[in-house]
Amino acid sequence: MLQVSMQTTIFMQKAIYFVSKLIAARGMIELTDRSLNFQVSPLDASFGMKDLTIDLCHISDLKIEGGEIHPKVVVIADKKHEFVLSKGQELYDRLRDLMSDPLKYDVEGQSELGRRYCSCGKKVNQIYRYCPWCGETLSD
């Protein structure tokens, strides 16, 4: 049986992604309930910059650095990813919340009674037949 996953956008804002210490790309950062996406602006894409998608389950660490005006959100997944944006604190807070409760934004008003745990240790909403994190079939 095919399971269709609809992602919910939680946060979106213009940002700068530091590809390296000397190279940065401008674009739009989007946090969904499943991934952190960065879409490169058309101008920077014309120079060969590529869009970026980081699955939330691959994030191993999260930090915020810098001042209040333009804080830098540092995401550690397969490598270190640095994003600078004016609402960096909000992005950091929402990412931190999702890392502690990955399905927080699944169903508004969903109580803990509608959740269970997968053998991988993640909370899973009762509406799922398969764990969205590891793919294991869930028992009822």
What pTM was computed for the model? 0.70
Residue 128 lies in a domain: yes
Residue 50 CA, chain-centre distance (Å), reads 18
Residue 5 lies in a domain: no
What's the pLDDT tens digit per position in 14-67? Answer: 999 998 888 999 999 999 888 999 999 999 999 989 999 999 989 999 999 987
Greater pLDDT, 82 or 139: 82
Token readout for 71 is 């804080």
Both 21 and 83 in a single domain?
yes
Asked whether 138 and 128 are in contact (CB, 8 A), the reply is yes
**What is the C-alpha to C-alpha distance for residues 108 and 89, in angstroms, rounded to an integer?**
23
Both 54 and 79 in a single domain?
yes
Greater pLDDT, 56 or 122: 56
What's the pLDDT tens digit per position in 67-92? Answer: 777 899 999 998 999 999 999 999 99
In this prediction, residue 103 carries a pLDDT of 62
Which range marks the domain in which residue 128 is found? 111-140
Q: Would you place residue 109 in the very low, low, confident or very high pLDDT band (cuts 50, 70, 90)?
A: very low
Calculate mean pLDDT across residues 94-104: 80
Judged by DSSP in three states, 16 sits in strand
Short-list 63, 28, 103, 53, CA closest to 72: 63
Q: Would you place residue 101 in the very low, low, confident or very high pLDDT band (cuts 50, 70, 90)?
A: confident
DSSP 107: S
Judged by DSSP in three states, 113 sits in helix
**Structural domain count of the chain:** 2
Calculate mean pLDDT across residues 1-6: 53
Is the pLDDT at 111 greater than 60? The verdict is no
**What is the C-alpha to C-alpha distance for residues 72 and 51, in angstroms, rounded to an integer?**
19
